[in-house]
Chains A and B, each alone.
Chain A
Amino acid sequence: MLTRTAGAVVAAGAAATAGYLLHDPIGDAGLPRPSDATRRLKDFFTGIELPAGTPRISVATGEESAIEQMVRTAIGRLDPDLGLRRFVTRGDVVLIKPNAGFDRAPHLGATTHPDVIRALVRMCLEAGAASVIITDNPIEAPEACFARSGIKRAAEETGAKLVLPEQRRFETVVVRDNEPAADRGEALGRWSMLYAPLREATKVIGVAPIKDHNLCGGSMNLKNWYGLLGGRRNQFHQAIHHIISDLGWMISPTLVVADGTRVMMRNGPTGGRISDVKPGGEVGRPTVVAAVDPVACDAWCYRHLLGRDPAKLAYLGMAARKIAAETAAGSKRLGEADWQAYQRRGQVATANV
């Protein structure tokens, strides 16, 4: 009798306690809320002190057989004493974000040239990086794109870790707290992003090929960050300048490298014909540009490699305005649409390799 009563009382007590603790009076306690997403992107440029007078855009021109030399020269001249070590220090985890968006061989200029990747990875490891990650989220099948573009082999040969865009690596990231306002040129609020490598990385380097783009005019460094987005990202094409300027504002990279070795002059971004590609674009010889200001870098490349007027490229100005709001609030990142301002200050360096 006693044991039965005791058993009954304990069971009743447990049921009542569980019911009380789990009680949901309103009805939405267990439901996920948008505000639950708390992940934000780090500022990958913080802590980098650029000495006065050093170039902000560094151009190296050469032959296609000397791409590694060009990359080393371009980055080296950003800081004549330290070179890449100004940006990448011992123990850093460096994320290199190339464009592996298409199932095309490297000579077609639709993806980042693998030799540029090789050079960068080697330089990062020489500067003491703990590891180097390479990732992208292509439209087409990822394994095929990384393989055919030669980027997979470049990663394997140099000891970088290739991270494929598997679903489990995507997470919702808070780009802005408010819903994006189209009339202010905003596109992103909270969005699914290839977040796992971004979380792991302490430094981010974007490496974009310079290409014509049928919708927005030019696919360069700012457009390159599109490859970090997940979800139904194709809907942004209806306001392409909104999204590209948002991409340029949302991520503050350590540095960017523009791959002008084989410039796609027409039929971008997919291309597919050798006749669309011109080594070095309007410069005439293969070119690599390293820069700490992604917006100015894009403007310079639009003018010199694609031969077009950056004042007509709407997303540059929009990105610059968004970044200016941050600079006014104290951020040290750079985002000027006017590359000539750097020229006037003697901060554009050119070299022949």
Chain B
Amino acid sequence: MSSKPDKLEPGFFHHSPLNLLRITSVRVLVQTVSFAMFLAFVYLATYAQLNEHPGLRLWVSKILEIDPLVSLATALTTHTVYQGLLWSLIIVIPTLLLGRFFCGWICPFGAMHQFTHWLLGGYRRKERIEANQYRPLFAFKYYLLTALLVAAIFGSLQIGLLDPICLLYRSFTGGVMPAVSVPLPQLFGDRLFNQGAWLVGGLLFLFLALNLVIPRFFCRALCPLGALLGVLSRFGWWRIERDRGKCDSCNLCSLNCEAACDPHKDLRRSECFVCYNCIEDCPCGALSFKFLPPREHEIAAPDVSRRKVVFAAAAGLAFPPLTRTTGRTTRDFSSTVVRPPGTVEELEFLERCLKCAQCIRACPTGVLQPAWFEAGLEGLWTPVMNFRIGHCQLNCTACGQVCPTGAIQRLTLERKLGVGQFSQQGPIKLGTAHFDTGRCLPYSKNTPCVVCEEVCPTSPKAIFTERQMRTVREGRLQVRAATENTLAVVLWPRAGRAIGEPVSWAAGRFSGDETTTYHVQINHPDAAPETHRVTGNDAATLAIEGRFLKPPAAGTLAVLKMEYKVPLVDTELCIGCGLCERECPVVGDRRAVYVTAEGETRSHLHEDRDRDRSLRLLKRG
């Protein structure tokens, strides 16, 4: 350390954020604006019914579309660059020239780390310099990137787990904003339930807490996007260069170095965030952002061990077969995994889904929730439907409108509903509704109910009703006396008795209504049975519609029956929207009507998938 007191302590104004002439002040402003824009994009996704707000189309998903790791990884899995992902070039090209300016100036997650460290990390000068030294541990992000990209080459897209934009997006839509909505519902609307919010929110806090150990730990040691940008920085035209003549080795450049890129030694090009802190902190003015600097004074490539890279590649190579062989994506699929409308086939879906949770945010009913492991290991945080929370709104295509990678395709309403030019193909089905007749009220609880039919939104309705007849409880009766249209009865006598016990009904109990009617069947001993509708009753007498063909003799068996509606599903018409399950009054883990993924139209291309086979079975009869 040098001992030139006047040069160690530049004036207050020089370091003040108010000095807008400083590039670092501009940078902090850009980071703040970038973070604010990130929040705005997250908020905008909520209003993604883009048929209503066509202007938003340009902006929604932008923050994910400019992410180069997303573009590269999906290009490796799908061999295409989906729609807006071409925008990532506006980050890639400047990075090739300038270095990891994205990390220092734009990345909202990086800004959060920086802010957290500034807020909580109160080091003394010596400790701060020490904390900002490069550590071999920081090479880990390159091994992680290798493993992730190799896994992508072989068909499994897992970058969304740790990519900073996807991670931050998911943490906000699935953790932070729901948590804020609990005490302040007016801020972000009525998104009532978000499964797994504790996990994504908790992980965010965990990553931010790492800044207490080492500043911007995530960015330096874990971030795969940073690693990719570090690799791209290798042949840049500019970098921060230390003039050995002016430098007096005071190490103050490390005091605020964001990236731990060792500006006081040979600059590690693949680490430097171009944050400009070192340039401004240097009391000797030895550092500058130089065009075409000499090659000798830099470490251009990431400092990684070749053997470890190979091992990481092997891990990435092993991952897809290890997960796919479980069969969870094919034969042993979980039928509770109902995907959003417009989702591609499951294997292609796993090549595209970033787990960014934008579709979950855009969904107006909250039916989309992040999966746990129902869809396999790769399915963690991918969108699945939970019909206890919401339903798939018939005229809504929000999820596909916001998906940045085409895991959920952009649908027109015509395509989704199967009308117009798509009437031959029919509507997109998410699955099929099934009745659990042991729980359904009319089937087994002796209670009329057709809420599911009432709310079924398709035209014609996929849920329809059929009338069934069932003997009323204690409905075996014995005729005492009869007129042409009334019947006085007692209960049918128990074994060994001649006369049955009296009945005492509430008046009007058997009058019936539109959905439930009562009928009495007279079993004449010497003639054919006749059945008549009951129009009313008092304590022990039934009144019928019309008149008896043959007057019932005393002692005749009369059976009182209830005719009521039971619901059925027409599997040709059911689109699996789940409104029936959502509204079923039999609440609990298993509703009396529930939707499974069987019969989903997205699986029709793959003949070996049992999903499609079970639809053919359902269609028979």
Contact = CB atoms under 8 A, between A and B. Distances in A.
A161 interface: no
Nearest to B459: A272
A241 interface: yes
Contacts of A214: 450, 453-454, 465, 514
A183 B189 CA distance: 41
B618 interface: no
Interface string A78-89: 000000000000
A148 B585 CA distance: 27
Contacts of A269: 454
A270 B457 CA distance: 7
Interface size class of A (residues with CB under 8 A): 20 to 34
Interface string A145-170: 00110000000000000001011100
Contacts of A166: 185-186, 189-190
B587 interface: yes
A322 to B, nearest CB: 16
Given A234-B584, A234-B585, A216 B459 contact: no
B459 A271 contact: yes
Given A234-B583, A237-B449, A273-B460, A144 B364 contact: yes
Interface stretch (A135-143, A254-262, A342-350): A135-143
B514 A270 contact: no
A213 B455 CA distance: 11
Contacts of A235: 585
B614 interface: no
A241 B513 contact: yes
Contacts of B190: 164, 166-167
Given A147-B52, A235-B585, A238-B585, A140 B457 contact: yes
Contacts of B455: 139, 270
Contacts, number: 92
B515 A215 contact: yes
A246 interface: no
A251 interface: no
Contact of B396 (A141, A168, A273): A141
A237 B454 contact: yes
A103 interface: yes
A102 B448 CA distance: 24
Interface in B415-440: none
Contacts of B503: none
A201 interface: no
A253 interface: no
A183 B506 contact: yes
Contact of A232 (B460, B579, B585): B585
Contacts of B52: 147
Contacts of A217: 513-514
A141 B364 contact: yes
Interface string A249-284: 000000000000000000101111100000000000
A143 B396 CA distance: 11
Most chain A CB neighbours (cut-off 10 Å) among B186, B394, B460: B394
Contact of A143 (B49, B453, B513): B49
B336 interface: no
B447 interface: yes
Contacts of B585: 232, 234-235, 237-238
B80 interface: no
A216 B514 contact: yes
B459 A237 contact: no
B78 interface: no
A314 interface: yes
B535 to A, nearest CB: 11
Contacts of B189: 166
A103 B393 contact: yes
A140 B579 CA distance: 8
A270 B450 CA distance: 13
A267 B186 contact: no
Given A139-B583, A273-B459, A148 B395 contact: yes
Nearest to B445: A238
Contacts of A267: 459-461
A292 to B, nearest CB: 28
A110 to B, nearest CB: 10
Contacts of A168: 185-186
13 contacts: A140-B457, A141-B364, A144-B364, A148-B395, A166-B186, A166-B189, A167-B192, A234-B584, A240-B515, A270-B456, A272-B461, A273-B459, A273-B460
Interface of B: 49, 52, 185-186, 189-190, 192, 364-365, 391, 393-396, 441, 447-451, 453-461, 465, 506, 513-515, 579, 583-585, 587
Q: Which 3 A-B pairs have the closest CB atoms?
A: A272-B459, A141-B364, A235-B585
